[in-house]
Amino acid sequence: MSVMLDVIMRRFIRRGILDVRYPDGRTRRYGTHGPQAGLWLETRRAELGLIVNPGLLMPEAYMEGGLRPMGCSLYALMEVLMMNVQNPAHPAMQVVARMRRLRRAWSQSNPAPRSRRNVAHHYDLSGRLYSLFLDRDRQYSCAYFAQGDESLDEAQEAKKHHIAAKLKLDRPGLRVLDIGCGWGGMALTLARDYGARVTGITLSTEQLEAARARAVAEGLDDRVSFELVDYRDLNQRYDRIVSVGMFEHVGISHYGEFFARLRDCLAEDGVALIHSIGRADGPGATNAWIAKYIFPGGYSPALSETTAAIEQSGLWITDIEILRLHYAKTLAHWSRRFAANRTIIASLYDERFCRMFELYLVSAELAFRRQGQINFQIQLTRDPTAVPLTRDYMFDAERLHGVAAERMTEAAGD
């Protein structure tokens, strides 16, 4: 057993209880109260990783099979570990955190060629993979649980209409730009249910092909178009602009450029809505493992970083909403669906990939439950009179859609 790791763990685990089995077979308990979990270190390499750089090497060891939960679920293990991440007792973690902050500008530099590579890394994975754990519309972003007990499909449908209400789609034929359109679900909904004419842009060739096929299949290709375009190359004006789950990939050094382009592309009386993951505790840096394996170039911005860039753009912030635990609930749904289809996913990739993706989903959920991750929606305009003085019109629009949906369901039943 490593004496150094034993000393670190005794100081590190202040919340919860963690039983650690070392490669030599000895077991030690750390902590005295709270949630309990167990960690089995099967190799010396995994043991060393927890000393040198746990933020990167511990997840890598899990992917390679060098460590695993002991007598508990992966969720229970990660919960105890992530409850203690802010504890300054682990010297290596503090050094690594400072280095990540110093490297923020470089790691967040996302010029167009790098952006395309970063997007391809995650979003050009097999479309079948995403169909096995997402909802039927393949919404790969935070759902909206108005009551808290909705199914994933219901909550993702509600998310789209919640955003549509904020876009103030008060007449058909509005020209809408969807930045980071994914597999096309938002764009198709806005065209089908609100009569909008939508242009969706993406940097993922996999998503582009699927979105175009969906538009044709649904008979909406005369009102919706999808293009492989970087937001920096846009030069047209739109009545409405929406971006869901894309701002996390812009990069902090490009925030000014992003909002300047958004302003230039928005009509004088236009409305824009940005939906993004964020941080409740101020600026930070992306975990090294997430940056290497899951979202290269990705970063969840603090609201303070985002609003500072907006202030310089000349845009008005006309509404902000913070969604707190909605993404935690969304990720819990995804984890359950992933687990239910794990055998199929392993046949598409391999065991190492499954471990990686499971760890990503679990740690992401816990980041929202334990570490201050949030979602925010920011409504923006060029003209402060572009939207009504109160938020009542948003609620009215959602209610009207709900009534219309109920009538359609009843008619279909008849």
Could you say which DSSP state residue 346 is in? H
User: Would the pTM count as exceeding 0.85?
Assistant: yes
CB 108 within 8 A of CB 248: no
Both 117 and 20 in one domain: the answer is no
For residue 196, what are the CA distances in angstroms to 22, 42, 74?
60, 57, 44
> Would you state the pLDDT for residue 95?
54
Q: Is residue 261 over pLDDT 90?
A: yes
Q: In this predicted structure, which of 159-163, 183-187, 252-256, 326-330 has the lowest mean pLDDT? A: 252-256
Both 68 and 116 in one domain: the answer is no
> Would you state the pLDDT for residue 399?
87
- 273 lies in some domain: yes
Mean pLDDT of the chain: 91
Both 345 and 390 in one domain: the answer is yes
Both 266 and 131 in one domain: the answer is yes
Both 90 and 137 in one domain: the answer is no
Q: Is residue 402 over pLDDT 90?
A: no
Q: Which of 49, 73, 102 is the last residue of a domain?
A: 102
> Would you state the pLDDT for residue 400?
83
Cβ neighbours of residue 106 closer than 8 Å, sequence gap 6 or more: none
> Would you state the pLDDT for residue 105?
60
Q: How confident is the model at residue 414 (pLDDT cuts 50, 70, 90)?
A: very low
Measure the CA–CA gap between 247 and 309, rounded to whole angstroms: 12
Residue 77 lies in domain: 3-102
Q: How confident is the model at residue 406 (pLDDT cuts 50, 70, 90)?
A: low
Both 30 and 149 in one domain: the answer is no
Both 150 and 96 in one domain: the answer is no
Q: In this predicted structure, which of 4-8, 80-84, 119-123, 377-381 has the lowest mean pLDDT? A: 119-123
Q: Is residue 362 over pLDDT 90?
A: yes
Q: Is residue 269 over pLDDT 50?
A: yes
What phi and psi values does residue 19 have, to the nearest 5 degrees? -95, 125
CATH number at residue 365: 3.40.50.150
Q: Is residue 111 over pLDDT 80?
A: no
Q: In this predicted structure, which of 124-128, 179-183, 405-409 has the lowest mean pLDDT? A: 405-409
| E strand intervals along 119-182 | 175-179
Q: How confident is the model at residue 358 (pLDDT cuts 50, 70, 90)?
A: very high
Give pLDDT tens digits for 374-395: 999 999 999 999 999 999 999 9
Both 185 and 235 in one domain: the answer is yes
CB 78 within 8 A of CB 6: no
Both 76 and 10 in one domain: the answer is yes
Cβ neighbours of residue 260 closer than 8 Å, sequence gap 6 or more: 313
> Would you state the pLDDT for residue 182?
95
Give pLDDT tens digits for 66-106: 999 999 999 999 999 999 987 655 565 555 555 555 555 65
Mean pLDDT value across residues 267-276:
98
Q: Which of 102, 137, 157 is the last residue of a domain?
A: 102
- 178 lies in some domain: yes
- 107 lies in some domain: no
Both 87 and 200 in one domain: the answer is no
Indicate the number of domains in the chain.
2
> Would you state the pLDDT for residue 363?
97
Both 290 and 333 in one domain: the answer is yes
Q: Is residue 120 over pLDDT 80?
A: no
